[in-house]
Amino acid sequence: MFTFCTDPSVLPQWQWFACYLTTNTHFALYRSVLVVLLLLALVAPLALGLGMLGALAMRSGSFLLRGIGTVYVSMVRGVPDIIFFLFVPFAIDQLVEYILHRLRCPDWEGSVWRGNDFVVCAEAKVPLSTSPAWVHDLWGFTLAVVAFAIVFGAFAANTLHGAMTAVPKAQIETAEAYGMTRPQAFRRVLMPQMWVYALPGLSNLWMILTKATPLLFLLGIQDIVFWARELGGAKTSLFAYPHADWRVWYFLGVLVFYLALTWISQKVLDRVMIRLSRGQATAAGEAQRRAARA
């Protein structure tokens, strides 16, 4: 990157570090930070949407919908997260390839299962073997987003269902007595109040989601933890920038990154909680009214 980065072995210390920290592999580390932030930005609304659907299903008057919602929430919450993180991408990948295999290779003879191997025709591979590397990375990242959304959507569904239950039923009955339909009472009375009860649980879920992003490493995605391990490991004289084992410093940087991210998140969530509590019949809302009268 710098013009003086021609021969690292003769560089002064500050120039050596300047060149070392601007290598292509280090820029991959910096880009991995964006990967983590992008994952959070995509998974949070998807998980919240799945959570809302799951909570509504659990409250549904239909036995089928209520059963689907209950099974989804109970199954995901009852199985270790790492199993879903590893199983969901694998299952979706094979399902998509099997469907494409049936569509694109109708003349294929025999089963796609050959012993323990899953074999489809070349035209059904996702992505295709001829696809560029970024397509393979995008597909893997998409599967990771789906896995995270399914897992955290179940926890969000349980939180939202509890928040809906916490809103006094008398308020819903009063709204219906004044002529509101059930959907109107849900939208105008239940929804505005349920977020006050749901936000503490959703805040915890956000923090857990933030701390779970290093699991991208297990899914084969080169995230910040992967590069911290790779770059921090001892490099011999064969490398242009040899150094000792610096993993403790790299992982310390990862620690600072996650602490800063969670600290900023907590500040934002506190402000959201203050805003949602305004005018609500809760302890926080009452404290705001007393502060305004003082």
Percentage with pLDDT > 90 across the chain: 30
pLDDT of 240 reads 81
Confidence band for 80, pLDDT divided at 50, 70 and 90: confident
Residue 208 scores a pLDDT above 70: yes
For the ranges 131-145, 206-220, 247-261, the one whose mean pLDDT is highest: 247-261
Confidence band for 24, pLDDT divided at 50, 70 and 90: confident
Condensed to tens digits (0 to 9), the pLDDT of residues 116-141 reads: 788 888 888 888 878 888 888 888 89
pLDDT greater at residue 68 or residue 119: 68
Quote the CA–CA distance of 251 and 262 in Å, as a whole number: 16
Q: What mean pLDDT do residues 81-110 have?
A: 85
Right CATH number for 8-293 from 2.60.40.10, 3.40.50.970, 1.10.260.40, 1.10.3720.10? Answer: 1.10.3720.10
pLDDT greater at residue 88 or residue 52: 52
3-state secondary structure string, 109-157? CCCCEECCEECCCHHHCCCCCCCCHHHHHHHHHHHHHHHHHHHHHHHHH
Mean pLDDT score of the chain: 85
**281 Cβ contact list (under 8 Å, min separation 6):** none
pLDDT of 220 reads 77
Quote the CA–CA distance of 249 and 16 in Å, as a whole number: 17
pLDDT of 286 reads 57
80 cis-preceded (ω within 30 degrees of 0) = no
Among 170, 195, 175, residue whose Cα is nearest residue 185:
175
Residue holding tokens 């809103």? 167
Q: What mean pLDDT do residues 182-190 have?
A: 85
Residue 265 scores a pLDDT above 60: yes
On the CB side of 102, how many CA atoms lie within 13 Å of its CA? 5
Radius of gyration over alpha carbons of the chain, in Å? 25
